[in-house]
Amino acid sequence: MSLTQKIDAFFESRKGSEKYLIYFSILFGVIALSYQYLFPMSEKFMKKERSKKLQIESKLQADLMYIKAMTVNGDENYYIKVFQNQIKKLKNDFQKISDKKNYLDFKIRELSYLLYNKQKWSDFLNSLTQKAEKNSVEIDYILNSFIDVTNSFGHVLEIELGCNGDYKDLIAYLNDIEQSDLVVDVYSLRMYDSSPIKLQFKVSVWGINF
């Protein structure tokens, strides 16, 4: 006999009132079991869902308040447009500054002969003997010293030179020195009438700090 048949046989042997009592007891047990186990679970689930709901509502309220604060004259994108315009202006300003810098760099390269450059000055010193040989002038002596004029302005290379030769060659030699690419100042000339003619003079070479 199966379990179902046994249950049917059990209830057939009972009176109607007994059946109802058994049904009620089973129902009560189910309710009691549900209350003891299922109700706490349901209550925990409801609390969890209620907490999520409150968090969502709170975030939504905060978002609505933020949108309201960012809205000007009904335009929700007002500040976005303001920031975009500011970024565009900053980019334009940066480009202008960059262009000015490039322009200054270009001009500085054009005026590089004005800048302090010890190597160029050394080359200039070496060129004095080469220019003298080219113009048939004999060098007697060359004295030189570097002078730091100021930290902000620049340097000066002071040269004192003694030489001898024909008048025409000496004048050509001076002119050749003054035609240098550097900022050169020839001064304090002294010419002695002798054979050959002796010439003493000083040269200042200027260089600006950068």
If you write DSSP's letter for every residue of the chain in order, what string do you get? --HHHHHHHHHHTS-HHHHHHHHHHHHHHHHHHIIIIIHHHHHHHHHHHHHHHHHHHHHHHHHHHHHHHH-BTTBTTHHHHHHHHHHHHHHHHHHHHHHHHHHHHHHHHHTGGGB--HHHHHHHHHHHHHHHHHTT-EEEEEEEEEEEEETTTEEEEEEEEEEEE-HHHHHHHHHHHHTSSSEEEEEEEEEE-SSSEEEEEEEEEEEE--
Q: Are residues 138 and 52 in the same domain?
A: no
Q: Do 126 and 191 lie in a common domain?
A: yes
Domain containing residue 128: CATH number: 3.30.70.60
Residue pLDDT tens, the chain, 210 long:
565 665 556 556 566 666 666 666 677 666 666 666 666 666 677 778 788 888 888 888 887 787 777 777 877 777 788 888 889 998 988 888 888 887 777 665 655 545 556 777 788 888 999 999 999 999 999 998 876 655 545 557 789 999 999 999 999 999 999 988 777 889 999 999 888 999 999 998 876 545
Residues 101 and 180 in one domain: no
Whole-model pTM: value is 0.46
Q: How many independent structural domains does the chain possess?
A: 3
Same domain, 96 and 123: no
